[in-house]
Structure 1
Amino acid sequence: MSKENVWGRLTEYARPFQKQILGALFLLLLGTSAELAGPFLAKVMIDNHILAIQKPWYQLDEVPPQAAGQVASVNGTNYIREDVAAKTGLGLDRINQKEVTVLTEGTTYYLVSGKVNPNTEKQFTPIMPENGRERFEVTTKDQSGQKMTSTGIRLTAEEVKAMYQGDVLPIVWLSVGYGALILLSAGFNYVQILWLQKIAQRIIQQMRMKLFIHLQKLPVSFFDKTPVGALVSRVSNDTEAIRELYVSVLATFVQNGLYLIGILIALYILQPELALFCFLTVPVLVLLVYVYQRYSSRYYAVIRAKLGDMNTTINEMIQNMTIVQAFRREKGVQKEFADVNEDYFKVRMKEINLESLLLRPAVDLIWKISLTLIVWYYGSTSFHSVISFGALFAFVDYMGRFFEPINMIMNRLSQMQQATISAGRVFEIMDETTEKKEAGAQIERPRGEVVFDNVSFAYQGDDYVLKNVSFTAQPGQTIALVGHTGSGKSSLMNLLLGFYPVTKGSILIDGQDMRQIDTHSLRSHVGLVLQDPFLFTGSIGFNIRMYKDTITDEEVKRAAKAVRADEFISKLPGGYDEPVVERGMTLSAGQRQLISFARALAADPAMLILDEATASIDSETELAIQEALHVLSKGRTTFIIAHRLSTIQHADQILVLSRGEIMERGTHDELMAQNGLYQKMYQLQQGSASVESA
């Protein structure tokens, strides 16, 4: 299945939730915008307020009213900053024009006469104090490299506060704004993550439900060739991988995609050259993504297949633990699992090596090289005022934020690949052809006339297991099928239940071709008891009722009494409410068989199929069931597949099969009189029985 088809179908599953998804993505946009606005506030705080003290200051002869609170008094002289003077509308005639500069050396501030570049190299030399104030000679270099000398004084803490008095409130408000943006971003992200998680859970819930329902509609032939572990892996593991696609991958790609766009815009506003430099790294990153996707898709397809193989091995081992331990094949099973586990480990390591090379390490290398070049170039040129410190700080912050979402996206690529492969595996199952509902509508309760008219059947090709089988079962009759293993007895019943289509010939139910009858409707009138009964987790009453709530408790008990199951059920602590563990392993084989027999009878079917139904029942219980069958089979067409010929002597018609053909037919007495295959089989069993009794 192509990736385009997979993504198209995944989109269809998300379509019913598109409004909720768009709402979550809008919150994601708000949260991302709030987070991206933070460095801008930091830049404004640094350049316009924290480092604004280093801007030119001018001496004031008098303080005008509009400048009140914006003027700093140092050593008895009033000073106003250049940008503040422009804001308050002071003209040049109101300013003394004597320019001073504030320089910093660690946490010490100096007021220096003249215009001095605060970003150049500085040397402070103490000179003769004046009026009790420490004085310094400051040596700097201009842009041409010529030395310049100025004099200045060390500022006290109070004087520094005075020079910052107009900036304290804006710094506080900008800090509050920065914190508010962080809280808003966290709040928006929390809500959108919650929404996306809920939406993803709903999508996967529906997908699993559709997959589970679809599995129930698949023909039995599909389960004959598909391991149970592989199916369990697709219903559980693969759908869980798809859930991560809707939660982690979708949110990560959208959020970090918005991050990248916003960061590139912010970088362009800060410094176009820097934004262009970031753009140059994009082709390299796209190449990494292309190479990773090309090779990882191969590995993940094998990984999911190997995981299914492991689940299959584990399932087989658990289901057949009795056989494994009885034959002491633990080491053999361990070796088989170790081989599968080793194969999974090897292909997993190949994927990990690829991921380790092309994802975060490669991106981190590009990021570190880019950052080194930027800091080296613009950091050195910032001494000549090419870029402000605040802009450089914001740029470094944005550069980190630029590569972090790329790392997040690259890290999610592996999950996206897993989800895509898993979705393809799930959709492969859902594309399997289900049992066709034939042209006929629902069938009413049939009388029970069954006609096999020259029926031939092959599971594959021309290898026929049934050849020109013809017989008629009248309503209420009991038809017994006997024969050696592989003679076609069970295949006949599989055709009657519609598990497989007839290859040649036809089967008629009350004169109507089975091809014209809805098989699901037909099965509702057929009771089935298998040689190996399966009980579901629940209670005994639940297993007799088998999801059919219309069956009352009285009908459950009546069916159980008819097959003598009530005798042991009533002795259990919980009676009919006694819990049944998986496969009913706390009950004996005979007890499980009696419960499955009661299950078939409680459904009140028009036809009964007993496939070696008495094989697991002792002789005493078998006699009781035979008595019940004489009563319960009245009005029902009953098919008995039997190996023990002593249980079918009452049958109205016995069909002896060999290699897919009916060799003999008749009642027990008629067949014994023919001195044929049936007689030999009966005598062999009677001889075995005599030897055993002796």
Structure 2
Amino acid sequence: MSEQKITGKTYDSQLLQRMARYMSPYKGIFWASVILTILLAAVAPALPMLVEYTLDKYILKADATGLTWMLIIMIALLIVQTVIRYYHTLATNVLGQNVIRDIRIQVFNHIINLRLKYFDNTAIGKLITRTISDLETISNIFSQGLIQIIGDLLQLVVIAGVMFYTDWQLTLIVLIPMPLLIWATYIFKESMKSAFVDVRTWVSNLNTFLQEHISGMAIIQYFSREKQEMEKFKTANSKHRDAHIRANWYFSIFFPVLEIILAIAIGLLVWYGSKQILANAISPGVVVAFLMYINMIFRPIRELIDKFNTLQMGMVSAERVFDVLDTKEFTPDTGTFSPDNIAGEIEFDNVWFTYNEGTIRREADSSITDEKDVSTQEKWVLKNVSFHVQPGETLALVGATGAGKSSTINILSRFYEIQQGRILLDGKDIRAYKLDSLRQHIATVLQDVFLFSDTVFNNITLYNSDITEEEVIEAAKKVGAYDFIMRLPGGFDYQVQERGATLSSGQAQLISFIRALVHDPAILILDEATSSIDTETELLIQTAIEKMMAGRTAIVIAHRLSTIQRADKIIVFDKGEIKEIGTHRELLTIEDGYYKKLYDLQFNSLGI
């Protein structure tokens, strides 16, 4: 659902029914809230009735003893109301927070299972807004919104019923301004809809802006863009301010109108009630009680407006949250094969792949006959890719940026789905494997290492309790990282800052090597894994890399020659197609070959 499609309905039965399902585990708290709501509405008119009785029976008759007893009863009633209101507030807030906790868990679980294509097209800041602030707004529907609104409406009905029962003529007189109030409320409600949508939209936009710019602060400062980006932020912040001001402006108009209507109702009561008292048609106690009734009617109406605000914002937020939950961007996990071990044999069989799935419908073996076909052909990232890797072999992928190397390893782990062809692992289609089982047998070391704000140890194990401290230490020594880790304050307990900001890129890369090694994969993928490491460090870990790849199938994407030369097989990609396959020596013998040109351009400068 796009931002434009979110309407912010005040009442949406489907959304409310959907949210109500999350209350099922908390039926006891819900029904306690309902009962307490009914009790509050039932006792609401008791105090005015007691005041009417006291005035007519004791005050006007100068009965001090009776007055004393009535004051005691009124104080007791106020205590009872306070206790009921306390437990009512507590119950509704506990209900709201429990429901939101469950929804937030479901939302996060849903997000982490979405395929990477979804994150390619979705701003992270918007997902943060949905998971945090939008869900907090929804919690108010339970703690301050729906149940409270029902309670206020019930109180209005009870009070109006008592008023009509006491004196229906006087009731009709004081309710003369009510149509004006209903009309003003309707106009207010319609005006607030777009304002609330704008408020939530700009909250989301601000979160997105901040997330992106704080993450990219180095780029902003490297290129001296502080002033320009500050101007962008001022513009977004002003839009957010304007949306809030517009919403508050409607409130600033509505509440004075409400006060005028209340004054009119009180004036009608005083005028008509005084005439009735002088005519001995009603007692003074009735007029005083009606004065309290009018305030008790208008007070819930005032509160209803605030709760309407809460409900409106909650509906907007609910639409946004359920928009995420309704996203079906999943990698189908229909496989059942889950082996404990695999040999690591890989085969690509006529694989065609595009990131723009759904827009291309083309048979892989069809011929290109016109310009339209050529245009379609260019949309494919991988075109009719076929190769075979035996268990324990090392395969190197080379080619220009955008040639299809990273796409090849991404589809092997099913981060993206191929459109045609097959990918086989140990002779079985990878779609036959359970998704978690498939990925457990593959470890990837990326060029852009991501480290969490946690200890070095937890960044290595990723909280896998099956990995022991001894295994981590052994792996660290194997890749040559043990000494530098022990020099850190706390060693393996050193607290890594966000994205590894306090570590060098080479140190972060070494930690990613340990992470891959301790998970003991059958297939190891190195995607430009040594590009962030200086030459001296790279030479130190070459032996470690060879140890890591020993007995494992390895796929290496690298521009540096050292690992490529030792590969059992090298595949040269160009524009999504395989141009050459062979060993380092075999490819160098091909005159005017892609690999030989790459070698001459990139490696002759090394004196090799």
DSSP-derived class of the 1:472 partner: strand
Q: Which residue of 1 aligns with 2:113?
A: 217
Deviation (angstroms), 1:277: 3.7
Q: Which residue of 2 aligns with 1:531?
A: 447
Contact 2:399 2:572 in 1 (8 A): yes
Q: Which residue of 1 aligns with 2:596?
A: 679
Q: Which residue of 2 aligns with 1:131?
A: none
Q: Which residue of 2 aligns with 1:425?
A: 320
Q: Which residue of 2 aligns with 1:386?
A: 281
Q: Which residue of 2 aligns with 1:516?
A: 432
Deviation (angstroms), 1:373: 1.6
Residues 386 and 441 of structure 1, relative CA distance in 2, 3 Å threshold? farther
Q: Which residue of 2 aligns with 1:302?
A: 198
Whether 1:337 and 2:233 are equivalent positions in the alignment is: yes
CA distance, structure 2, for counterparts of residue 431 and residue 580 of structure 1:
35
Spell out, residue by residue over 1:76-95, the C-alpha distance to the aligned partner (whole angstroms, 9 max, x if none). Answer: xxxxxxxxxxxxxxxxxxxx
* TM score, norm. by length of structure 1: 0.80
Q: Which residue of 1 aligns with 2:532?
A: 616
Q: Which residue of 1 aligns with 2:493?
A: 577
Question: Pairwise mapping of residues 129-144 of structure 1 onto structure 2 (< 5 A)?
Answer: none
Contact 2:335 2:435 in 1 (8 A): no
Look up the equivalent residue of 1:431 and give its one-letter code: D
Q: Which moved more, 1:424-433 or 1:381-390?
A: 381-390
Of 581, 590, 594 in structure 1, the residue corresponding to residue 506 of structure 2 is 590
Deviation (angstroms), 1:258: 2.4
Look up the equivalent residue of 1:4 and give its one-letter code: S
DSSP-derived class of the 2:17 partner: helix
Residues 291 and 439 of structure 1, relative CA distance in 2, 3 Å threshold? farther
Spell out, residue by residue over 1:280-299, the C-alpha distance to the aligned partner (whole angstroms, 9 max, x if none). Answer: 55544444444333343333
Q: Which residue of 1 aligns with 2:373?
A: none
DSSP-derived class of the 2:578 partner: strand
Deviation (angstroms), 1:591: 0.5
DSSP-derived class of the 1:267 partner: helix
Q: Which residue of 2 aligns with 1:652?
A: 568
CA distance, structure 2, for counterparts of residue 282 and residue 611 of structure 1:
71
CA distance, structure 2, for counterparts of residue 244 and residue 646 of structure 1:
60
| Structure number with higher strand proportion | 1
CA distance, structure 1, for counterparts of residue 496 and residue 426 of structure 2:
39
CA distance, structure 1, for counterparts of residue 404 and residue 40 of structure 2:
68
Q: Which residue of 1 aligns with 2:456?
A: 540
Q: Which residue of 1 aligns with 2:368?
A: none
Whether 1:480 and 2:396 are equivalent positions in the alignment is: yes
Q: Which residue of 2 aligns with 1:399?
A: 294
Deviation (angstroms), 1:223: 0.3
Q: Which residue of 2 aligns with 1:565?
A: 481
CA distance, structure 2, for counterparts of residue 441 and residue 280 of structure 1:
74
Question: Pairwise mapping of residues 499-510 of structure 1 onto structure 2 (< 5 A)?
Answer: 499-510=415-426
Deviation (angstroms), 1:264: 0.8
| Structure number with higher helix proportion | 2
Of 6, 10, 34 in structure 2, the residue corresponding to residue 25 of structure 1 is 34
Whether 1:629 and 2:524 are equivalent positions in the alignment is: no
Contact 1:293 1:417 in 2 (8 A): no
DSSP-derived class of the 1:592 partner: helix
DSSP-derived class of the 1:639 partner: strand
DSSP-derived class of the 1:579 partner: coil
CA distance, structure 2, for counterparts of residue 620 and residue 528 of structure 1:
23
Deviation (angstroms), 1:689: 4.1
Q: Which residue of 2 aligns with 1:642?
A: 558
CA distance, structure 2, for counterparts of residue 605 and residue 688 of structure 1:
36
CA distance, structure 1, for counterparts of residue 417 and residue 180 of structure 2:
58
5+ long unaligned stretches in structure 1? 53-163
Q: Which residue of 1 aligns with 2:353?
A: 457
Q: Which residue of 2 aligns with 1:258?
A: 154
Whether 1:415 and 2:310 are equivalent positions in the alignment is: yes
Deviation (angstroms), 1:688: 4.2
CA distance, structure 2, for counterparts of residue 373 and residue 168 of structure 1:
32
Contact 1:672 1:678 in 2 (8 A): yes
Q: Which residue of 2 aligns with 1:10?
A: 19
Deviation (angstroms), 1:668: 1.2
Deviation (angstroms), 1:630: 1.7
DSSP-derived class of the 1:590 partner: helix
Deviation (angstroms), 1:414: 1.3
Deviation (angstroms), 1:572: 1.9
Identity of aligned residues (%): 38
Deviation (angstroms), 1:381: 3.7
Q: Which has the higher contact order (CA 8 A, sep 6+)?
A: 2
CA distance, structure 2, for counterparts of residue 361 and residue 269 of structure 1:
31
Spell out, residue by residue over 1:182-226, the C-alpha distance to the aligned partner (whole angstroms, 9 max, x if none). Answer: 111011111121121111111100000000000011110000000
Q: Which residue of 2 aligns with 1:436?
A: 332
Q: Which residue of 1 aligns with 2:382?
A: 466
DSSP-derived class of the 1:648 partner: helix
Deviation (angstroms), 1:587: 0.9
Of 192, 203, 207 in structure 2, the residue corresponding to residue 311 of structure 1 is 207
Of 40, 51, 60 in structure 1, the residue corresponding to residue 49 of structure 2 is 40
Q: Radius of gyration: which is bigger?
A: 1
CA distance, structure 1, for counterparts of residue 250 and residue 341 of structure 2:
63
Contact 2:334 2:431 in 1 (8 A): yes
Look up the equivalent residue of 2:271 and give its one-letter code: W
CA distance, structure 2, for counterparts of residue 308 and residue 242 of structure 1:
15
5+ long unaligned stretches in structure 2? 1-5, 361-378
**Residue correspondences, number:** 577
Q: Which residue of 1 aligns with 2:365?
A: none
Spell out, residue by residue over 1:272-329, the C-alpha distance to the aligned partner (whole angstroms, 9 max, x if none). Answer: 1132345555544444444333343333223222211111110111001111001001
Q: Which residue of 2 aligns with 1:491?
A: 407
* TM score, norm. by length of structure 2: 0.91
CA distance, structure 2, for counterparts of residue 504 and residue 428 of structure 1:
30
Residues 606 and 288 of structure 1, relative CA distance in 2, 3 Å threshold? farther
Q: Which moved more, 1:370-379 or 1:321-330?
A: 370-379
Spell out, residue by residue over 1:418-467, the C-alpha distance to the aligned partner (whole angstroms, 9 max, x if none). Answer: 10010010000001113221243434322111111111111113411111
DSSP-derived class of the 1:464 partner: coil
Contact 2:447 2:527 in 1 (8 A): yes
Q: Which residue of 2 aligns with 1:170?
A: 66
CA distance, structure 2, for counterparts of residue 630 and residue 192 of structure 1:
67
CA distance, structure 1, for counterparts of residue 185 and residue 215 of structure 2:
43
CA distance, structure 1, for counterparts of residue 335 and residue 472 of structure 2:
35
CA distance, structure 2, for counterparts of residue 10 and residue 484 of structure 1:
51
DSSP-derived class of the 1:624 partner: helix
Contact 2:335 2:433 in 1 (8 A): yes
Spell out, residue by residue over 1:48-76, the C-alpha distance to the aligned partner (whole angstroms, 9 max, x if none). Answer: 01012xxxxxxxxxxxxxxxxxxxxxxxx
Q: Which residue of 2 aligns with 1:667?
A: 583
CA distance, structure 1, for counterparts of residue 173 and residue 557 of structure 2:
81
CA distance, structure 2, for counterparts of residue 447 and residue 281 of structure 1:
83
Whether 1:372 and 2:250 are equivalent positions in the alignment is: no
